[in-house]
Chains A and B, each alone.
Chain A
């Protein structure tokens, strides 16, 4: 058991190291330096700049410094926003993304599981079909389309919400719907199919035969098992919400991390790109590890089996 977790942690660290190395050398592989694109800089100033960012040292030296700094969570200075460290940019902007992300995850789980249970309870009835059509649509309509449509209909036409910004609680509504639409759809399908399976199990039949009320059966007996696969979806869902936030923040003008990420890519702010990439990677890997831990805790049956590998 302990060995298993140490192995997991080790492979996460290896992944991070590979990603850090890959980003470093990819950024160095780009022809020219970050200051060539600017309007012509006098050579003395450029030399100063290069030495300020440590770019005049040999490559392996830069790489070692970079790794050393990483261990101390020092991501360096932003190359385009003056006098700002990458860490401070992340610290300033991540709050918005985190709040949005966590709220979206909560909404997705609650609404998704709810829809799934409803669909399973009314199997092959109108409600079931309606929920499943909604789920297929949620999987198929890209999040940036959902976000733009919501903004147009509820922001511009109906004027119920602000078009952009994140100043009051109401401003969270549209971005959260846009971020949650895909996870809701997945979770609803997942819950429905496992609930259907569980509901036909022997122990549910026994409960029914004992005359226990339907609601109690569903929520007390079936849901416990029916919700298990949703736990496995926690990791991929975090990934979805993170990638989703990149466009949703762009569309709704939210000054979150996603906004800065896109900005850093189009500005070619290399230190910021590397920093945010690693930061995102850490979040996603932690989410995956948590998923594994939680799953092992809730379902001791499956724990050992899935640990044997992919089969």
Chain B
């Protein structure tokens, strides 16, 4: 099935060098271990994951960029005296200068503050869409996996039927009916976005369900919801987090794509997609109007992908099992 294809593809086997990790794991013990106790101190799993992540330079570069972007999205629009929506027809299409740091667009609006307003939209869309996917996907997938049987079969069939409907068509249809705005896009993305997440959760839970500790908890009379939320879901966290990180860039891309087509965020609100679309008629003369938002959106998606890949590598030892 397709999602297996994607998870195959995302498995990294390049064994990046992770300095420090090996040294710590194999550190000399201060005492002579008796008999079989030859292992080093045991390290909690999340700590292990964190260490692998933190020593991954590429992933950390991605994370660093994202932190920087978030900060700029918050304070950026206030750093310059110009706001993002006022037209200034005396000063249109200016190249970047000391007054307008990133130049102005064809209506004389300040590109610097528009860019950071765009960052706000992109990050909000990415994060909110991913969170909705998370909540719906985990609950739905958790029930599918945990209850099993006929319920699982029916619920799974529903997801399969929904999944067969191309998401972009659903999104575009909804955007035709509703006012185009950021929230419409988020809603439209959420209609089908959670399916992949629900499958991943279901697969994980099916795998975990038959393990001894779950049986033990069951035999001690743990309730269904306790089993699900205390034992099963926490142990599926790795794949969930990885999927979540990789959902964000695709949501960001979708927003920019739709805004670029004129179906998303509308001017004067500034989305990167809208800005690129606005620049289309004139950017051969004023290339910065296009290059700045294009670079930022590419870098943002790149950073999320790199960070997501790093996370997956960090969780990989567990996934391999």
Contact = CB atoms under 8 A, between A and B. Distances in A.
B298 A273 contact: no
Nearest to A140: B302
A266 interface: yes
Interface residues of A, number: 62
A145 B298 contact: yes
B12 A262 contact: no
A36 to B, nearest CB: 15
Interface string A118-148: 0000011000000000001101111011001
A261 B287 CA distance: 28
Interface in B293-313: 294, 297-299, 301-302, 305-306
Contacts of A242: 166
A311 interface: yes
Contacts of A123: 14
A4 to B, nearest CB: 13
A269 B241 CA distance: 41
Contacts of B276: 144-145, 148
Interface in B36-68: none
A310 B1 contact: yes
Contact of B301 (A140, A193, A250, A284): A140
A233 B9 CA distance: 10
B284 interface: yes
A190 B9 contact: yes
Interface in B259-301: 260-263, 273, 276, 280, 283-284, 287, 290, 294, 297-299, 301
Nearest to B6: A236
Contacts of A23: 173
B301 A273 contact: no
B275 to A, nearest CB: 12
A273 B176 contact: yes
B294 A229 contact: no
Contacts of A140: 249, 298-299, 301-302, 305
A34 interface: no
B100 to A, nearest CB: 22
A26 B1 contact: no
Nearest to A232: B5
B165 A156 contact: no
B172 A265 contact: yes
Contacts of A124: 14
User: For chain B, which range describes its interface: under 10, 10 to 19, 20 to 34, or 35 or more residues?
Assistant: 35 or more
B164 A186 contact: no
Contact of B166 (A196, A239, A265): A239
A309 interface: yes
Interface stretch (A14-22, A89-97, A172-180, A204-212): A14-22
A30 interface: yes
A277 B302 contact: no
A142 B255 CA distance: 11
Contact of B253 (A18, A142, A148): A142
A272 to B, nearest CB: 11
B176 A30 contact: yes
Nearest to B171: A243
B166 A281 contact: yes
B169 A139 contact: no
A188 to B, nearest CB: 10
A246 B257 CA distance: 10
B305 A148 contact: no
Contact of A141 (B11, B273, B284, B298): B298
A136 B306 contact: yes
A197 interface: yes
B8 A18 contact: no
A65 interface: no
Contacts of A239: 166, 168
Nearest to B293: A145
Contacts of A30: 176-177
A15 B165 contact: yes
A268 interface: yes
A247 B301 contact: no
B12 A265 contact: no
A63 interface: no
Contact of B206 (A14, A243, A311): A311
Contacts of A148: 276, 280, 283, 290, 294
Contact of B302 (A136, A232, A311): A136
Contact of B298 (A15, A142, A190, A243): A142
A280 interface: yes
Contacts of A105: none
B212 to A, nearest CB: 19
Contact of A281 (B5, B169, B249, B260): B169
Interface string A186-207: 1001100110110000000000
A142 B173 contact: no
A194 B14 CA distance: 12
B96 interface: no
A88 interface: no
B257 A229 contact: no
Interface of A: 11-12, 14-15, 18-19, 22-23, 26-27, 29-30, 123-124, 136-137, 139-142, 144-145, 148-149, 152, 156, 186, 189-190, 193-194, 196-197, 229, 232-233, 235-236, 239, 242-243, 246-247, 250-251, 261-262, 265-266, 268, 273, 277, 280-281, 284-285, 288, 291, 306, 309-311
Given A14-B161, A251-B280, 8 more contacts: A15-B161, A15-B165, A27-B176, A141-B298, A148-B290, A186-B9, A233-B9, A284-B166
User: Top 6 closest A-B pairs, CB basis?
Assistant: A232-B5, A140-B302, A15-B164, A190-B9, A140-B301, A145-B294
7 contacts: A19-B165, A22-B170, A152-B290, A156-B284, A265-B172, A266-B262, A268-B176
